[in-house]
Structure 1
Amino acid sequence: MAHRALVVRGGWDGHRPIEASDLFLPFLERSGYDVRIESSPAVYADAETMAETDLIVQCITMGEITHEEVSGLRDAVAAGTGFTGWHGGIADSFRASADYLQLVGGQFAAHPGRAPEPSGEPRDDANFLDHVIELTDLGRTHPVTQGLDDFAITTEQYWVLHDDLIDVLATTTHPVRPWHPWRRPLTSPAVWTRDWGAGRIVVTTPGHDPEVLDDPNVRTVIERGMLWATRTASAS
């Protein structure tokens, strides 16, 4: 029997949610999923649909969610539905919902940028930095990241606020720069998993746009995360 995947996308257009999530539809279909696409979190309040869903792939940056919708999402994950996404589509969604933030376990706080231009004029890539995604000891053995090496990437480097119930598979370190107010390097989780009841959650912070999502390392982590998060037999 095929797994059922629900792709929920929308929110801020700057992350190109339709184009970005479209990149992964062929993978899901090749992997034997029946895929349903929704353009708002309203579907989370549909208990029958959620009970039949084995995997949710969310790509909604910012946006709003009702109490009924976030309750439906939390209940579904606790019952075994997998939940995954990348970048702002999962780590910067529904900022006003404490219940959503608790479910995911980490929240985008900032993406420190390059030195300001002497002219003061903004630049389109001001927040794109060369940085390294470093696997943790757990990440080197976990099914989502096993066999990968640390890798360099040029894109937004997420500064994440998080709790201790996440299992961190990879990190990235924000260095000290003369134009920043902090005075020591700070390490943020870049890829993490989380157990929530019978469900599994996977968050990947790189993924600002389709070009970043086409990076082989980023794409591998996201695709493996989809498979790993999918409802297991023990959660059925």
Structure 2
Amino acid sequence: MNPRAVVVSGSGRYADPWHPFADTSARIAGVLRGAGFEVEIDERVDARLADVGECELLVVNVGFPDPADEAADAATRAGLLAYLATGRPLLVSHVSSTSFPAMPEWEGVLGGVWVRGTTFHPEYGPSHVEVVDGRHPITAGVADFELLDERYTALRVSPDVHVLAQHTLDGVAHPLLWTHGYGTARVVYDALGHDAASYESPEHRQLLGRAALWLVAPGSTP
């Protein structure tokens, strides 16, 4: 039986004017299906995260929740933590590093976050991605590559993450793809994926598909 993935896609209060979540979630789902997953896309962000249900992989592709909703925020936090407590893996995309302000554990789950007033990105456009670890199963054999995207810069990143890819700005390296562990759960964060153009990159698609397979592989460790 193929592993089952749920892609939770930004809509409602988790949507914003800058990120076409329906398009990017469809692209993520296509990559996962190509890697052998059965995929469900769910735009009921709070409801699904409060009760993830049966799946082998949870994918989060959402924005900052506006407006706040105390009851929904509490249920979402509880559901995400309950999912992770089962040891099941999490794949997190792009602007989701700004999400869940009512979940103080989110930074520890992800291994890094967008910090308002500090984190930024250069203008959207051609972006050079440097592969850092050429031996990890996700990045093995993948050379540095170019794609159209945003390059997140000055994220607050834990020293405990395993950086797989980065970009360099003014001589300073900034992680873009990493693995992390939260309890027994494996986590991958992919800072790329601003819009559908990002997934036109064969290298990005390859990394994403490999990340999903690595996350569900028995015995994988960050």
1:86 match: 93
Q: What is the rounded CA distance, in whole Å, between the counterparts of 2:164 and 2:29 in structure 1?
A: 24
Q: What is the rounded CA distance, in whole Å, between the counterparts of 1:140 and 1:209 in structure 2?
A: 26
Q: Once the 2 structures are TM-superposed, how far is the Cα of residue 2 of structure 1 from its aligned partner?
A: 2.9
Count of aligned residue pairs for this structure pair:
207
Match status 1:3 vs 2:9? no
1:171 match: 166
Matches for 1:38-187 after TM superposition, within 5 Å: 38-39=42-43, 40-46=45-51, 49=53, 52-63=54-65, 66-88=73-95, 90-109=96-115, 110-113=119-122, 127-136=123-132, 139-159=133-153, 160-175=155-170, 185-187=171-173
Specify which of 169, 190, 197 is matched with residue 211 of structure 1.
197
User: Residue type of the partner of 1:98?
Assistant: P
More strand by share: 1
3-state DSSP of counterpart to 2:179 = strand
Question: Which 5+ residue runs of structure 1 have no aligned equivalent?
Answer: 114-126, 176-184
Q: What is the rounded CA distance, in whole Å, between the counterparts of 2:40 and 2:125 in structure 1?
A: 35
2:182 match: 196
Percent of pairs identical after alignment?
Answer: 27
1:197-228: per-residue Cα shift (whole Å, max 9, x none)?
A: 22211111121100112111111111111111
Root-mean-square deviation (Å): 2.4
Q: Once the 2 structures are TM-superposed, how far is the Cα of residue 31 of structure 1 from its aligned partner?
A: 4.0
Match status 1:35 vs 2:30? no
Q: Once the 2 structures are TM-superposed, how far is the Cα of residue 30 of structure 1 from its aligned partner?
A: 4.5
Change (3 A) 1:231 1:156: same
> 1:6–1:36: 8 Å Cα contact kept in structure 2?
yes
> 2:2–2:36: 8 Å Cα contact kept in structure 1?
yes
User: Residue type of the partner of 2:159?
Assistant: D
TM-score when normalising by structure 2: 0.82
3-state DSSP of counterpart to 2:114 = strand
TM-score when normalising by structure 1: 0.78
Q: What is the rounded CA distance, in whole Å, between the counterparts of 2:205 and 2:147 in structure 1?
A: 13
Match status 1:19 vs 2:23? yes
Q: What is the rounded CA distance, in whole Å, between the counterparts of 2:58 and 2:76 in structure 1?
A: 14
3-state DSSP of counterpart to 2:47 = helix
Question: Which 5+ residue runs of structure 2 have no aligned equivalent?
Answer: none
